[in-house]
Amino acid sequence: MRNPTPVVFIHGFIGTLDIADYAFPHAMPDLLGYGEHQAAPFDTITLSGQVEHLRRFVDSHFGSKPVDLVGHSVGGAIAMLFAHTYPEYVRRVVNVEGNFTLDDAFWSASVGRMSPGEAAAMLNGFRSDPSAWINGAVTEPAPHLEGIAARWLAHQPASTLRAMGQSVVTITGSADYPGLLEQVFNRHPVYLLSGERSHKSWNVPRRAWEKCAGHQMLAGSGHLMMLDDPATFSAAIRRCLVE
């Protein structure tokens, strides 16, 4: 395929969005509060702040060229917000079990309500046994996942998780949020990607199913489908955006 549209992968609430063997132009930027941006001030770490952060990233890396967005979990909500705010920047969106309603924010909301000490204790507990943390979220435990889990858990401080949790509740619980999502579906092809084990717990409104450009459900996978079956996940993204 000649000159495929570059893809910006947007990670979720914790860790990164690891994509195996994606052969086309792409980028996986750290959001504010994560990775190289861990020192971002608490009050800048909001979903709206992430949209502006990504806009600056796209400007610096791709200029005026439209991009495709792939957002996982909270990253799916950020992708939809970005497409709403900057529709001219976006060609297509792949929403990977992203937050459509406040019901999808059960964990991030609970972290957002924690005190700084409680959030730090939670994250330190996960970091003390990364294998146990990740094995509870994947289909098949595997030795290599412990290293990935340790890397993901080190990717952000507890303060980032508190800030993001609070913003997720504010944005996805807003009365304006459903209408905002509707506008994105009206303007852009939006593809929905879910895991077979987590599909039923994804709170996608009926209108979103009706208006989406396509839906794939990955057999045997759950919410962390990029770890359950990396090759199948990558192939599903390519089917939405390239093939």
Q: Is the pLDDT of residue 2 over 70?
A: no
How confident is the model at residue 28, as a pLDDT?
95
Strand ranges inside the chain, DSSP E: 7-10, 26-27, 67-72, 90-96, 190-195, 214-218
How confident is the model at residue 64, as a pLDDT?
76
Q: Is the pLDDT of residue 1 over 60?
A: no
**CATH for 7-241?**
3.40.50.1820
137-154: pLDDT as tens digits: 998 889 999 999 999 999
**Which of 234, 229, 204 has its CA nearest to residue 219?**
229
**Which of 71, 99, 54, 82 has its CA nearest to residue 187?**
82
For residues 182-201, average pLDDT: 97
What share of the chain has pLDDT > 90, as a percent?
90
11-44: pLDDT as tens digits: 999 999 988 778 889 999 999 999 999 999 999 9
How confident is the model at residue 39, as a pLDDT?
97
How confident is the model at residue 3, as a pLDDT?
65
User: Hey, where are the domains in the chain?
Assistant: 7-241
How confident is the model at residue 19, as a pLDDT?
85
106-138: pLDDT as tens digits: 899 999 999 999 999 999 999 999 999 999 899
Place of tokens 């895991």: 195
